[in-house]
Structure 1
Amino acid sequence: MEELEHRVADLERRIAALEAADRPAPRLPEGDFWALEGLKEQLAELGAVDGGVLFTGVVRLPTGEQYRWQHGALTEGLMDADWAESAEAFAALGHPVRLRLLREILGGRRTAAELAESAEAGTTGQIYHHLRQLTGAGWLHTTGRGRHEVPPGRVVPLLVALSAARG
């Protein structure tokens, strides 16, 4: 019975994705700079003359999990940092199958067996390879019994990275 419920939920998710593909995705207005104005006020209070960046989000996943997250950084600290230290995290996202796996995991498929049900994921060995890459880069962690999840502090940054890549 549980397998049937899982399959029905999966079909409902796929139908919703197909229906969503038929209409343009809604976008937040770009002319209202409420977040930017708040950041500018914070930077002025800090005396940060070179500026800074802020990314934030509130997310409800198809599984019902909810996340609120924000991160800000001063431009000076970012420009002085060793950017090569971020290469592994970006490289892990640089494979289409890994991105599909992350999307499926955020959507509720959490075990390698559930992920293998997707024809796009490859063989079980390939899935485990990609899961290890994502785990090593911090985009995933295991929660026991072979279940994987995106750590709460990585959900919004993952969506920010995807949003930035789409421009």
Structure 2
Amino acid sequence: MDLERRVTDLERRLAALEAAERPAPRPDEGDFWALEGWRARLAELGEADGGVLFTGAVRLPTGEQYAWQEGTLTGDLLDGDWQPAADAFAALGHPVRLRLLREILDGRRTAAELAGLDEVGTTGQIYHHLRHLTGTGWLHTTGRGRYEVPPGRVVPLLVALSATRS
């Protein structure tokens, strides 16, 4: 009886917590809380030229969760070497590579699982694409023919995809 009462009490408390949760702000509601925080941080740094901030908290279909943010000053972006960015973008510029990344994020992690997909090419072609993605940092191997998107690249990959939407 004591256990039943404790479970009932826990369920009641959980329901109260869930009811008290505020929904996450939606980007289309005009709430620029992240931008305003970034502007305040730039002002503290005395950066008149501004900067770029991107951030995300995601849960993949596999249950893995990632939270990540990156802020870069405008001057650092404009004055920096863009060649590594060209290589990284080129790696994403092939539909099969994007498909492989999506499948890996969805939980298909081995070369054998990826080779079983329709319309991704031969095993040799798949390995070519996997090597290209690995060479540019979008993937890394975890041993025994397993691939994953590195934790620090999950949100940037989704940001890059988001940036293509109008």
Q: Which TM class, normalised by the smaller chain length?
A: 0.7 to 0.9
Show the counterpart of 2:117. Answer: 118
The residue identity in structure 1 corresponding to 2:63 is G
Rounded to whole Å, the distance in 1 between the matches of 2:61 and 2:121 is 23
Show the counterpart of 1:146. Answer: 145
**Which is higher, the Rg of structure 1 or of structure 2?**
2
Show the counterpart of 1:95. Answer: 94
More displaced 10-residue stretch of structure 1: 112-121 or 152-161: 112-121
Rounded to whole Å, the distance in 2 between the matches of 1:109 and 1:60 is 16
Show the counterpart of 1:128. Answer: 127
The TM-score normalised by the length of structure 2 is 0.82
More displaced 10-residue stretch of structure 1: 93-102 or 28-37: 28-37
The residue identity in structure 2 corresponding to 1:109 is R
Rounded to whole Å, the distance in 2 between the matches of 1:120 and 1:108 is 18
State the SS of the aligned residue for 2:54.
Answer: strand
Q: Mapping of 1:5-20 within 5 angstroms?
A: none
Unaligned 5+ residue runs, structure 2? Answer: 1-25
Show the counterpart of 1:17. Answer: none
Rounded to whole Å, the distance in 1 between the matches of 2:97 and 2:84 is 20
Rounded to whole Å, the distance in 1 between the matches of 2:123 and 2:29 is 43
Rounded to whole Å, the distance in 2 between the matches of 1:158 and 1:30 is 24
Unaligned 5+ residue runs, structure 1? Answer: 1-26
Show the counterpart of 1:107. Answer: 106
Rounded to whole Å, the distance in 1 between the matches of 2:132 and 2:82 is 19
The residue identity in structure 1 corresponding to 2:153 is R
Cα shift at 1:120: 2.0
What is the Cα-based RMSD across aligned positions, in Å? 1.0
Show the counterpart of 1:42. Answer: 41
Cα shift at 1:32: 1.1
Is 1:74 aligned to residue 79 of structure 2? no
Cα shift at 1:29: 2.0
Cα shift at 1:30: 4.9
| Overall identity of the aligned pairs, in % | 79
State the SS of the aligned residue for 1:29.
Answer: helix
Show the counterpart of 2:50. Answer: 51
